[in-house]
Structure 1
Amino acid sequence: MIDMHRKVAKDIVHKGHDDDVLIYDAHHLLPAWLPAAIVQRANLDPMDLEIVNQAYRLDSERLVLRSLPTIIDLQELEQADLSDCLPELLTNYEKTTDHLILSGIWVLESTEAKLARLPGCGNGLSLDQRRQVHDVLKNLDGCPQQGLLYFTLFNDTANYFFYRKHHEHVPGLMLIEAARQAMYAQFYEHSGYARGEVSISIVDLLSSFPRYTESSFQVDVLVGDYEGMAQPRARKVDKRARFFQRGELVADIRLHGEVIKMPVFKRMRNINIDPACWFRPLKGIRHEVLVRLDSGRHLSARLELLSMAGLQVQCDSPLEASERGHVYLYLENEGMISLPLQSLHASDATKAGTLKLHLAELDSPLRFKWREVLKQFAYFSHEETAPVPAPVLGQPLWMTFDQASAMPEQRKEA
């Protein structure tokens, strides 16, 4: 198990519980090299300069990571049994007759780990060192910036993504969710948007799984923008998450999405729920409810059904006459919600003790809140909802969108 403080904060990845966070140990990919003049011009204080010098060596007019060779002899590559890595190396090294020369700036940490087998290569940096170096370099004018973030997958076989089954590999859906979380974390780090200001709506999700991901080995995730670094406060995203295990690519996930401001996002998800539709409480809502009548009488009941117009409860206390009052329900993580009652009466159903609670007219904020309760905490019940003619557009009654919040118009507004 890992220390919880190493995990990415749950609100950054839009989760409500720490157990739902699948990534930890966030850090940036460091540039393989940078012009020495950038550091010379910066006039760093001695401590920051020492941090840079511990990570980089001077090589002609460049500062090169101590763990990376500037020149690789092809014969040494073969002797280290790394010939199969040549295609991978050619993305950042130029090939001459008998050796490779470092040219690219963004050498993957998995590649760096393989090159450590060559003679003369320095030890790789620790996680804390990488973070310290990045904190210094990000403030230097002209220093290469790509916004590439590494995470480690919290590969917990007890997680619900393993479906209470002994898997020998990580399920693909778990990798997709980890990619989504890593993309959100990278987005808030570099987009210029504050947490809670926007939401990302997925338009397209492309996934490739060239290898199985073993459940018993570490998995590293590298996330960034697909082409270069996105402009600040961009309205569209194109993110890529690559998963590496034991130096090999095991999954590659690309997401196209739209950045939508939260007020617009809420309007887009604002559906009309017909009062004739009944729902069963599913989760997050306590089944025990309290009814307080205007006469001063209190009834304890068990929640069975909910609708925009009322509730159905099971109550052992006899009801002598219908009267007004309030019903109180408890919502997980939100507390108590109080709804005004117009009337209540015993149901005509054969089930004894069944009461129908008819809601009084709700003001706009409370109506919105109650609709959110039905959307988040309940599930449509076909048995209790009488069949009605389908809406004009042909959608099911319970999925009819408010015309003021139709998707195409709202996306234009976003």
Structure 2
Amino acid sequence: MDQYINRTLVHKQHSKNVLLSNLRRILPRALPLETMELAAGHVSPEDYQLLLRVYRPLGCPTILGQGKRYILREFLGALRLTKGQYQEVLQALPEETSQEFTRLYSPHQDSRERTRYYLESPVDDDLLNRIIKQGGKAEYYIDNGTQARASAILESLGYPQVPQEDIRDIFLANMVVDTSHEFFFEHPNEHVPGIMILEACRQMIIACSHSFGGVSREHSHMILDLLEARFTGFLELYAPIILRAEVIQKREHRGAWTSVTLDITIHQNGSQLGRVTCSGSTVGSGAFKRIRRLKRDELGLLPFIPGPDLDYTLLVKPQEESVWQEARLQELNLKTLVLRVPPRDTRPPNRGVYDFVLVVSGAGSAKGQCTLASRLSNGLLRFTLESLSRTEEEQLELILKRYCKVPERAVI
């Protein structure tokens, strides 16, 4: 059964926007006897039985070394191929993969002088799946959901006694393709849209950083600096899609990734149909805010115009009075408000300090004090903002960025 990742792993508010399931580290090819003994005493009986379905004991020398150990089910001797099976696999492989296949498999004569082909060294997981499929070894295939659960169990145990070289920084996930998604499928499409594939790869680097890179999901931000894609075919809507991400560069600080580059290959029906290189850096929430504040001066200089469909209420009043007036926004930034305030009587507007409250539907509110600075043409009033708390200023900043636009004439 597919295991959809938690939406917080990729910082999404709605689960429908999560495009990954069965996220896992590639499983070690073998587990020492001590690892399974420890698992027996520390995981649930159901989880231990799942590990026994994935790994089987083997006490004879193998391509993975001497001694008794538990071998990943796919690597058992049943992966030996008859001459006919060998030829079927070879004919089904593309040229670049067939060369690797012939290098990894060697012919041997059994006691009846029949030729059998044996795997001489560990094989890449994508080629392995092709061998299982084309060689008629489907009973040895481990489905993606089971792989993900086994990976999660071993991660929770910390891979005790497993050699470090077997804990590889290679991660796999299935891409979730929901054809009812209103953004990715806003018009009828008979293949997976490219923008959806890119978003899945973007989510992959973020999810791997949190799940395997020790990066806090609550107090860190991923700053993406490279997303480079190349596709060699279309991805179909009806067949499973696997993303395989290998870490090709990383930096760490106190056990957490500070920067990482992933080589993500995209697979469907036994073929690699695309490659995306994705890299980014992680920074703490405080550092992220400092980086973004470098551009905050613009928010106090540029004129922001509220969108025509903005649903808001703006109330103002002189501080010494108790009656609020509703006003309409014409222009604003972090330093000024330009408002149209309907006159209540024939008195000119008070030049003193005003209180204001701005409530935007779906975005919350900002409130503070402002001083009437000048009267403009067409009955508009310009106010200078005063005494905004840090919280109120951040809320106003959010409203500016999300719901207002700077006109072209202001940035030429």
Question: Given the two structures, how large is their TM-score scaled by the length of structure 2?
Answer: 0.76
Q: CA 1:129 to 1:215, structure 2 compared with 1: closer, same or farther past 3 Å?
A: closer
Distance 1:284 1:75, change over 3 A: farther
Opposite residue 306 of structure 1, the aligned amino acid is L
The 8 Å contact of residues 372 and 381 in structure 2, kept in 1 or not, is answered as no
Higher share of residues assigned helix: 2
After superposing on structure 2, the runs of 4+ consecutive aligned residues of structure 1 that deviate more than 6 Å are 228-231
Judge which range, 369-378 or 88-97, deviates more.
88-97
Partner of 2:49: 50
Amino acid at match of 1:53: L
Matching residue of 2:70 = 63
Matches within 5 A, 1:303-342: 303-314=329-340, 318=344, 320-323=347-350, 324-331=353-360, 334-342=363-371
Q: Is the CA contact (8 Å cut-off) linking 1:12 and 1:185 kept in structure 2?
A: yes
Secondary structure of 1:162's counterpart equals coil
Give the whole-Å Cα distance in 1 for the aligned partners of 2:329 and 2:224: 36
1:301-353 C-alpha deviation (Å, 9 max, x unpaired): 3434222232234555646432332222234655221131212876413xxx7
Distance in 2, Cα, partners of 1:28 & 1:347: 63
Aligned alpha-carbon RMSD (Å)? 3.7
Tell me which moved more, 76-85 or 213-222. 76-85
How far residue 181 of structure 1 moved from its aligned partner, in angstroms, is: 0.8
The separation in 2 between residues aligned to 1:197 and 1:346, in whole angstroms, is: 45
2:23 and 2:39 map into 1 onto residues whose CA distance is 28
The Cα offsets for residues 370-411 of structure 1, whole Å up to 9 and x where unpaired, read as: 34432343221245x4xxxxxxxxxx69xxxxxxxxxxxxxx
2:205·2:262 contact (CA, 8 Å) conserved in 1? Answer: yes
Aligned to 1:343: 372
Q: Distance in 1 between matches of 2:124 and 2:249?
A: 13
- Give, in whole Å, the separation in 2 of the partners of 1:74 and 1:328: 80
Aligned to 2:88: 79
State whether structure 2 residue 256 is matched by structure 1 residue 233: yes
Superimposed CA distance per residue, residues 91-129 of structure 1 (whole angstroms, 9 cap, x where no aligned partner):
797232473415226524x84266144345525334553
Query: Which residue does 2:161 correspond to in 1?
Result: 142
Letter in 2 for 1:79: E
What residue is the counterpart of 2:314 in the other structure? 289
In 1, are the aligned partners of 2:366 and 2:393 still within 8 Å (CA)? no
Cα contact 2:184–2:195 (8 A) shared by 1: no
Q: Structure 2 vs 1, CA of residues 381 and 121 (structure 1 numbering), >3 Å: closer, same or farther?
A: closer
Sort the Cα spacing of 1:88 and 1:137 in 2 relative to 1 into closer, same or farther, 3 A: farther
Q: CA deviation at 1:76?
A: 0.7
Provide the rounded CA distance (Å) in 1 between the counterparts of 2:368 and 2:250: 52
Corresponding position: 1:257 with 2:288? no
Q: Distance in 1 between matches of 2:299 and 2:152?
A: 54
Question: SS in structure 2 opposite 1:235?
Answer: strand
Is contact 1:244-1:251 (8 Å) kept?
yes
* Alignment gaps of 5+ in structure 1: 386-395, 398-414
Q: Percent identity over the alignment?
A: 16
Report the number of matched residues.
Answer: 378
Distance 2:181 2:101 in 1: 36
Checking the alignment, whether the CA contact within 8 Å between 1:193 and 1:233 is kept in structure 2 is yes
Deviation at 1:291, TM superposition (A): 2.5
- Distance, in Å, in 2 between the alignment partners of 1:283 and 1:107 is 54
Contact 1:223–1:239, Cα closer than 8 Å, also in 2: yes
